[in-house]
């Protein structure tokens, strides 16, 4: 009886379990909510198995940990939800690891079981320790575990475990369906949020608005309690906590807190460039304790921070936080990285919005298709009885359903009862074309006792044909006999249709890929081209086969390889979802092209990196345009910043080379004398060893049309060489080749009137001619030429201003010197005259004669000094004559040779037929003597002095540079020495009065000032060329005259003391001079009338009844000058002779009056004898 009772009890229990399974299956099939399904499973298990606790776990596919999704029997079941069992721990973890059921009377002491500490704390004092667990298996993989726990003494039979396994199957199906539903819903929600965000970014250029949407989306998609975003201050570069962009409840008090690399969660992201996650912000050892309270202060326990990148730099941080230790997942991190990427795009460049719209639309469409596919799935849960041997052998249906869910009615339209009542009903629903295949596969699976999965067609009650996927699990006993089978039949009609659509979509993608205007490529992880489109072939110049046979690195510019390698390593490491960069490719023809590469990582089904997809746009034209503009601005600035030619040249070469990315720049100046281009300067980029190139280039010259510079000169336009290594017209190939220089271009620096030179530039790369760059360089050449012309004008203006200032200074000094000389000459006249009179009155042996001689000698030296002052100030009275300069130099040469000494050679190079000049012979002699003496002093160790004469024609440009001279015919008188030479400072002060380079007591500093004054007073100009160690050349230009040269002879000296009896009127405002002259003439027998000025002279002339034979008058007098007085007296007494005396001429008018050849003149100071002889000479001169 007891055996029968047990069997009856077993049957009742089996029926109860079956009924519960059916009920649970029905309930689970009607909900896709994971929480509801899980709660239903654990509550039924708790009731049917009579256990104290029941727990359902979900397997985290990434970490392998078990996460509790539902619990029953506990005082606070919700406290268990979300708890995590590390992989392989606990009874449930062991069941998942073993792939089968397991139970333990006491897991805490069971050596098979590893129990986490938190579980020990939870169950350590609980008497309910007996635990059983079975894995949840779907499609042959564990997806979770179902565990029950009861009081001590409870044992779990095989039947218990088998029934528990049945519920686990139901739970696995529920978890899978719920996961699919949640995954679909999540992806749909993510797609919708991202699509909405992208749409808002496209519709608005308001970055603040976009970033607020980013923050709201981050909080929404991650399920966080709060979210916020901080950006780097664009002015200071600092990053501080700022809640302008925030969502959720946040505590304040930390605004403005700086975020520094390595400090705090944000600082760790700034330092590493990678996302940061923590479940316990305050106690996380990676965060300094000083900042641990900050996370608590802003209301966060769990925290996730990701970087916001823009242009390869972290420009901001995106935070999400939870007030509880609820951790953030890899999915959350992935979502935040996507949002951060969008934030970076918004910050970096609003122009990318338009290009992203198509991608967003495609993502939304793909998301909708995926959602439609998942939502269209219909799943039928079924179970069969143990098959008979006949069924396994092939007679009868291999499926006799003991249970089938109601979903079958919705799916196929047949009542569920027909499936369970008629063993042959199922085969009848299978499409005739698939039936034999399906039945044979089922029998083979039964015979082998293995799980299986197959797809086939079924015919619904309405005649419609559906495709289903039948996933079968075979349950065997210990002996391996098949006890039952269960499975899930899923409607895959839509997925089959979508499969066809996917193939069509792939075909459309292939066509879009091939026909895209920009380059597209699939690139392997090793950089090998896997697939390329026609546009990429066009950009690079290679065929598809050539590209697919090589790598990205093979056509990349060497200078860009390292930067792209770093980006690819970060991409493959998962640090960034993609990267964008501008780089260079080497075209098949050898020249360089610029491209923008946008690369995104594609992963396989298991999440591993598979390959990258790259969009490649040719931006060569844009890059050159940007560089051209920047170069033009830089050249303008360089021309503005400096005055020195050499400095300007170097700066312009540098900014042009750096602007267009070329390695070497040269300047070739036009030498107009030889009509050759000569090397004038160079700049090269750092690291380029171009010393040999520079040294050899210095020795090159180019005629018009010769070489690259000469062709630019000849054409007047920029010239381009694609590769100097292959151009036979490039004459310096042997110099450029060792430096790896290839492309070159030259442009003339030309104004509207003249060419100044040519600039030449070299690159290490091969470039095809760029018409826009050539046009720009042509304009730049004109711009530089305008600068050179402006510099010339500025220098000429400054020189003129300096000369004017010097003239004004010299004129002021001259006026002072002239005034002093006038008074001094009057004094010297009296001293020398009275001295001669005293000397004449002394006997030959009188000892006082030596004193008088000393007085006279000193006065003579003083007279010479005043003579120099007058010459410098151009106040001396000239007595010019038409002279033959060659004859004058010849007469002087003997005296000059004695003057310079035997160790200095005098060389006279006199051009025959030199034009005559109008000059005072004595003054011109003084000029030559002074220059030769200076040359002697500059050659203490001997040397050579050369005096040269020649005829020259001076043009307008020379006259503009020397305003004191007029264009036309001139005689050049040059004095050249081989002495020590002069520096620029000495040359600039050379003609200043009292300036001397000789030692103290060795010179007055008036010699060259006198030379300058005499030359200028003669209407000429003096030019000095000299450099230290190169000697000096003084070139004097004197205007020619049309008068024939006069023969210069010594004045005739009459013998004896000149005497006379004529009446002489002396007019002198200086009383001592007047008394002296009266005494001299009175002693010589003349009748003397004396006046102290013009008015008294007019009165005496009017009152004197007799003839006045001679008027002797000072030139410069107050009220009435000597010449004006003479004109008035001659009007009264036309037969009267006139003799002027003066120490200097006050004005140009007086100089012209006195330089008339008919005017007699005696300069002060003079001796009594010279004065008496001059008076006699004038009186005895024939009438004119």
Which of 810, 1183, 748, 721 is CA-nearest to residue 994? Answer: 810
Percent of the chain beyond pLDDT 90?
17
Average pLDDT over residues 126-147: 85
Fold entry, domain 10-184: Beta-Lactamase (3.30.450)
Give the model's pLDDT for residue 394.
60
Percent of the chain beyond pLDDT 70?
80
> Do 516-618 and 623-797 have matching folds?
yes
Question: What is the distance of C-alpha 293 from the center of its chain?
Answer: 43
Please write the tens of the pLDDT for every residue from 396-455: 666 678 888 888 888 888 888 888 888 788 888 899 998 888 888 887 877 777 888 888
Q: Which is more confident, 339 or 395?
A: 339
Give the model's pLDDT for residue 1052.
47
Measured over the CA atoms of residue 1124, residue 1127, residue 1133 and residue 1138, the dihedral's sign is: positive
Which of 494, 1143, 641, 560 is CA-nearest to residue 875? Answer: 1143
Q: How confident is the model at residue 354 (pLDDT cuts 50, 70, 90)?
A: very low
Q: Report the range of poorest mean pLDDT among 252-256, 319-323, 924-928, 987-991.
A: 252-256
Q: Torsions phi, psi of 939, nearest 5?
A: -125, 70
Give the model's pLDDT for residue 290.
42
Q: Which is more confident, 777 or 967?
A: 967
376-497 is classed CATH 3.60.150.10: no
Average pLDDT over residues 522-551: 89
Give the model's pLDDT for residue 61.
76
Give the model's pLDDT for residue 375.
38
Residue 1062 has pLDDT above 80, yes or no: yes
Please write the tens of the pLDDT for every residue from 694-724: 899 988 999 999 999 999 899 888 898 989 8
Give the end-to-end CA distance of the chain in Å, rounded to a whole number: 186
Q: Report the range of poorest mean pLDDT among 18-22, 230-234, 1036-1040.
A: 18-22
Q: Which is more confident, 74 or 391?
A: 74
Residue 297 has pLDDT above 60, yes or no: no
What 3-state class would DSSP assign to 134? strand
Give the model's pLDDT for residue 1099.
92
Residues 6+ apart with CB under 8 A from 145: 56, 57, 59, 66, 92, 93, 95, 96, 133, 134, 135, 136, 168
DSSP state of 1070: S
Give the model's pLDDT for residue 1050.
44
Give the model's pLDDT for residue 307.
93
Other CB atoms within a 10 A radius of the CB of residue 402 amount to: 18
Give the model's pLDDT for residue 377.
42
Are 881 and 1048 in contact by the 8 Å Cβ rule? The answer is yes
- CATH code for the domain defined by 878-1039: 3.30.565.10
Residue 679 has pLDDT above 50, yes or no: yes
Are 218 and 341 in contact by the 8 Å Cβ rule? The answer is no
Taking the C-alpha atoms of residue 42 and residue 38, their distance in angstroms, rounded to an integer, is 6
Strand order in the sheet with 1032-1039: 904-910, 943-954, 968-977, 1032-1039, 1021-1026
Q: Torsions phi, psi of 457, nearest 5?
A: -100, 145
Domain boundaries, the chain: 10-184, 206-349, 376-497, 516-618, 623-797, 878-1039, 1063-1180
Torsion of CA 570, 198, 359, 561, to 10 degrees: -30
Q: How confident is the model at residue 362 (pLDDT cuts 50, 70, 90)?
A: low
Q: Report the range of poorest mean pLDDT among 69-83, 93-107, 591-605, 803-817.
A: 803-817
Residue-wise burial string across 1070-1103, b where 16 or more C-beta atoms lie within 10 A, e elsewhere: beebbbbbbebbeebebbbbbbbbbeebbebbee
Give the model's pLDDT for residue 664.
93
In 254-359, beta strands by DSSP E: 276-278, 302-310, 313-322
Fold entry, domain 516-618: Beta-Lactamase (3.30.450)
Give the model's pLDDT for residue 367.
46
Q: Report the range of poorest mean pLDDT among 109-118, 477-486, 622-631, 834-843.
A: 622-631
Average pLDDT over residues 938-961: 87
Are 301 and 284 in contact by the 8 Å Cβ rule? The answer is no
Residue 350 has pLDDT above 50, yes or no: no
**1063-1180 architecture in CATH?**
3-Layer(aba) Sandwich (3.40)
Which of 68, 45, 37, 34 is CA-nearest to residue 149? Answer: 45
What 3-state class would DSSP assign to 165? helix
Taking every pair of Cα atoms in the chain, the longest distance, rounded to a whole number of angstroms, is 198
pTM above 0.85, yes or no: no
Average pLDDT over residues 986-991: 74
Give the model's pLDDT for residue 224.
86
Class of domain 623-797: alpha beta
Average pLDDT over residues 286-313: 70
| CATH superfamily of the 206-349 domain | GAF domain (3.30.450.40)
Please write the tens of the pLDDT for every residue from 1082-1137: 999 999 999 999 999 999 998 999 999 999 999 888 889 888 999 999 999 999 99
Question: What is the distance of C-alpha 1011 from the center of its chain?
Answer: 58
Phi-psi region of 982 (alpha: psi -120 to 50; beta: other; left: phi over 0): beta
Give the model's pLDDT for residue 31.
63
Average pLDDT over residues 952-976: 85
């Amino acid at each position: 009886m007891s055996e029968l009772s047990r069997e009856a009890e077993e049957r009742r229990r089996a029926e109860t379990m079956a009924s519960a399974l059916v009920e649970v299956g029905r309930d689970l099939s009607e909900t896709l909510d994971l929480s509801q399904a899980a709660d239903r499973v654990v509550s039924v298990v708790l009731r049917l198995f009579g256990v104290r606790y029941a727990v359902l776990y979900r397997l985290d596919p990434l970490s392998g940990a078990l996460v509790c999704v539902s619990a029953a029997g506990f005082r606070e079941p919700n406290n268990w939800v979300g708890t995590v069992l590390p992989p392989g721990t606990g009874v449930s973890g062991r069941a998942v690891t073993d792939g089968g059921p397991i139970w333990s009377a006491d897991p805490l002491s069971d050596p098979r079981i590893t129990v986490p500490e938190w579980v020990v704390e939870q169950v350590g004092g609980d008497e309910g320790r007996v635990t059983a667990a079975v894995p949840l298996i779907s499609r042959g993989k564990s997806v979770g575990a179902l565990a029950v726990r009861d009081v001590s003494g409870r044992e779990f039979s095989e039947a218990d475990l088998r029934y528990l396994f049945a519920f686990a199957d139901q739970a696995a199906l529920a978890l899978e369906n719920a996961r699919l539903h949640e995954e679909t819903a999540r992806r749909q929600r993510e797609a919708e949020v991202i699509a909405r965000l992208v749409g808002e970014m496209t519709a608005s250029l308001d970055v603040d608005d976009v970033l607020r949407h980013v923050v709201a989306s981050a909080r929404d998609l991650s399920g966080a309690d709060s979210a916020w975003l901080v950006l780097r201050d664009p002015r200071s570069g600092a990053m501080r906590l700022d809640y302008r962009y925030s969502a959720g409840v946040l505590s304040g008090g930390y605004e403005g807190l700086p975020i520094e690399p390595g400090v705090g969660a944000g600082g760790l992201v700034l330092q590493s460039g990678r996302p940061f996650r923590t479940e316990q912000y305050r106690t996380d050892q990676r965060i300094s304790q000083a900042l641990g309270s900050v996370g608590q202060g802003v209301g966060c326990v769990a925290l996730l921070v990701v970087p916001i990148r823009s242009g390869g730099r972290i420009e901001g941080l995106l935070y999400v936080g939870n007030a509880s230790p609820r951790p953030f997942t890899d999915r959350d991190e992935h979502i935040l990285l996507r949002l951060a990427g969008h934030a970076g795009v918004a910050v970096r460049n609003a122009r990318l919005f338009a290009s992203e719209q198509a991608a967003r639309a495609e993502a939304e469409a793909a998301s909708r298709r995926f959602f439609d596919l998942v939502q269209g799935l219909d799943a039928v849960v079924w179970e069969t009885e143990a098959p008979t041997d006949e069924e396994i052998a092939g007679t009868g249906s291999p499926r006799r359903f003991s249970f089938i869910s109601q979903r079958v009615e919705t799916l196929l339209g047949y009542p569920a009862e027909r499936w369970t009542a008629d063993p042959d009903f199922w085969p009848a629903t299978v499409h005739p074309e698939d039936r034999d295949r399906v039945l044979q596969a089922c029998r083979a699976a039964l015979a082998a006792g293995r799980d299986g999965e197959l797809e086939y067609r079924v015919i619904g009650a309405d005649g419609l044909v559906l495709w289903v996927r039948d996933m079968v699990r075979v349950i065997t006993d210990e002996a391996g006999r098949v006890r039952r089978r269960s499975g899930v039949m899923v409607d895959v009609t839509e997925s089959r249709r979508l499969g066809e659509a996917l193939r069509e979509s792939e075909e459309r993608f292939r066509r879009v890929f091939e026909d895209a205007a920009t380059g597209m490529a699939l690139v392997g992880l090793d950089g090998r081209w896997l697939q390329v489109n026609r546009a990429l072939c066009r950009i690079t110049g290679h065929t598809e086969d050539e590209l697919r046979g090589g790598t990205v690195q093979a056509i990349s510019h060497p200078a860009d390889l390292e930067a792209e390698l770093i980006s690819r390593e970060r991409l493959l490491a998962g640090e960034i979802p993609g990267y964008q960069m501008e780089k260079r490719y080497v075209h098949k023809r050898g020249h360089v092209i610029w491209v923008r590469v946008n690369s995104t990582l594609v992963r396989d089904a298991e999440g591993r990196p598979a390959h990258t997809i790259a969009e490649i746009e040719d931006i060569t034209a844009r890059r050159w345009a940007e560089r051209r503009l920047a170069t033009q601005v830089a050249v303008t600035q360089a021309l503005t910043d400096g005055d020195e030619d050499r400095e300007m040249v170097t700066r312009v070469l540098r900014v042009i080379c750096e602007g267009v990315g070329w390695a070497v720049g040269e300047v070739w100046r036009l030498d107009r004398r030889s009509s050759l281009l000569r090397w004038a300067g160079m700049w090269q980029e750092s690291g380029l060893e171009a010393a040999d190139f520079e040294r050899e280039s210095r020795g090159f010259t180019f005629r018009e049309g010769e070489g690259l510079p000469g062709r630019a000169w000849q054409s007047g336009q920029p010239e381009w060489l694609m590769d100097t290594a292959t151009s036979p017209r490039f004459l310096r190939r042997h110099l450029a080749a060792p430096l790896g220089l290839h492309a070159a271009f030259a442009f003339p620096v030309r104004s509207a009137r003249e060419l100044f030179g040519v600039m030449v530039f070299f690159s290490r790369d091969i470039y095809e001619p760029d018409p826009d760059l050539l046009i720009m360089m042509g304009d730049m050449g004109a711009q530089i030429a305008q600068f050179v012309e402006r510099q010339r004008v500025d220098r000429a203006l400054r020189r003129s201003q300096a000369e004017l200032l010097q003239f004004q200074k010299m004129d002021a000094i001259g006026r002072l010197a002239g005034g002093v000389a006038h008074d001094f000459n009057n004094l010297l006249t009296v001293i020398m005259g009275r001295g001669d009179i005293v000397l004449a009155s002394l006997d030959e042996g009188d000892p006082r004669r030596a004193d008088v001689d000393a007085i006279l000698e000193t006065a003579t030296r003083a007279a010479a000094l005043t003579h120099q002052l007058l010459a410098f100030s151009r106040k001396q009275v000239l007595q010019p004559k038409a002279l033959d300069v060659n004859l004058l130099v010849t007469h002087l040469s003997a005296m000059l040779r004695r003057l310079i000494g035997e160790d200095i050679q005098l060389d006279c190079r006199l051009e025959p037929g030199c034009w005559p000049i109008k000059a005072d012979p004595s003054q011109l002699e003084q000029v030559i003597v002074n220059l030769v003496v200076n040359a002697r002093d500059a050659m203490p160790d001997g040397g050579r002095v050369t005096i040269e004469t020649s005829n020259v024609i001076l043009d307008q440009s020379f006259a503009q540079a020397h305003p004191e001279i007029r264009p036309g015919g001139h005689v050049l008188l040059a004095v050249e020495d081989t002495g020590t030479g002069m520096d620029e400072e000495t040359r600039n002060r050379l003609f200043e009065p009292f300036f001397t380079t000789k030692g103290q007591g060795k010179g007055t500093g008036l010699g060259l000032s006198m030379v300058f004054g005499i030359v200028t007073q003669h209407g000429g100009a003096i030019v000095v060329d000299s450099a230290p160690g190169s000697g000096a050349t003084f070139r004097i230009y004197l205007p020619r005259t049309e008068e024939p040269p006069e023969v210069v002879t010594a004045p005739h000296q009459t013998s004896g003391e000149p005497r006379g009896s004529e009446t002489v009127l002396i007019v002198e405002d200086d009383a001592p001079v007047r008394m002296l002259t009266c005494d001299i003439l009175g002693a010589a027998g003349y009748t003397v009338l004396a006046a102290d000025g013009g008015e008294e002279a007019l009165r005496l002339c009017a009152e004197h009844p007799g003839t006045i034979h001679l008027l002797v008058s000072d030139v410069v007098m107050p009220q009435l000058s000597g010449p004006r007085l003479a004109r008035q007296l001659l009007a009264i007494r036309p037969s009267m002779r006139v003799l002027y005396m003066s120490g200097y001429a006050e004005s140009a008018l007086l100089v012209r009056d006195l330089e008339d050849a008919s005017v007699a003149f005696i300069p002060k100071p003079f001796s009594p004898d010279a004065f008496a002889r001059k008076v006699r000479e004038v009186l005895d001169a024939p009438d004119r």
